[in-house]
Structure 1
């Protein structure tokens, strides 16, 4: 259990508000590194509204929904796993056709940007399994 510095008092878990800004900034850096189109970014975040997307991109949001934080967590895990597996070509991997059964010859981004959080989860599992 985490405790506040030397006080013996349990540390308070960060709130959605605490996590939202850093999570979104990290997500948009990853999206830039991967060269994601706006529509792909919206799908990864689970958004239908372009205006909401633009608000989030500007950082003008107090707290994003729990679902969006979960999605960003998967994206971050995929990004980190790829950097460990493929240090030189990690950012290109999401766009390259992939013959693994999970992707059926299509780029991973097509599976990831389906709009279903479950697809982010299975891609994250796939990357983790490749790492061993």
Structure 2
């Protein structure tokens, strides 16, 4: 299963057990990949998923035997889209560093993106996804306009 499958499922509810079971392994791979790229601490990884640190530790160590519930799958799908948007906006190394940097962005209130998402939960993660995807769309529109004017 690819990241595209998880992205495609983002708009669905993730409420049925069949979907949750089908997406369990890809969701774990995606989340561990993001955690590695963003250099998340255990507290941050747990916070982004709404996990206890014990559950996060089990996930990281390969002892995870559960499936993600609807809330957790939604979080993973949103974080994947955020990660993808960052990689469209910035070179790879900067895209991976940016979530940890404290910026002047007023949306973050002096926090890093990771800190703000842990604190704000799903509503803020959705807001972040919308903000970044809008930025990607604007960049593509500017790029297309620049190509036409050449």
Question: Which residue of 2 is the match for residue 23 of structure 1?
Answer: 27
2: CA distance between counterparts of 1:40 and 1:94? 11
Deviation at 1:115, TM superposition (A): 5.7
* Equivalent residue for 2:111, pick from 106, 110, 115: 106
Aligned residues: 118
CA contact (8 A) 1:21 1:59 kept: no
Deviation at 1:44, TM superposition (A): 0.4
Deviation at 1:129, TM superposition (A): 1.6
Question: Which residue of 2 is the match for residue 95 of structure 1?
Answer: 100
TM-score by length of 1: 0.81
- Cα RMSD for the two superposed structures: 1.6
Question: Which residue of 2 is the match for residue 51 of structure 1?
Answer: 54
Structure 1 unmatched runs, 5+? 1-13
Are positions 1:80 and 2:109 aligned together? no
Tell which deviates more after alignment, 54-63 or 69-78.
Answer: 54-63
Question: Which residue of 2 is the match for residue 4 of structure 1?
Answer: none
Q: Which structure dedicates a bigger proportion of its chain to helix?
A: 2
Tell which deviates more after alignment, 14-23 or 97-106.
Answer: 97-106
TM-score by length of 2: 0.72
The runs of at least 4 consecutive aligned structure 1 residues that moved more than 4 Å come to: none
Are positions 1:37 and 2:67 aligned together? no
2: CA distance between counterparts of 1:102 and 1:81? 17
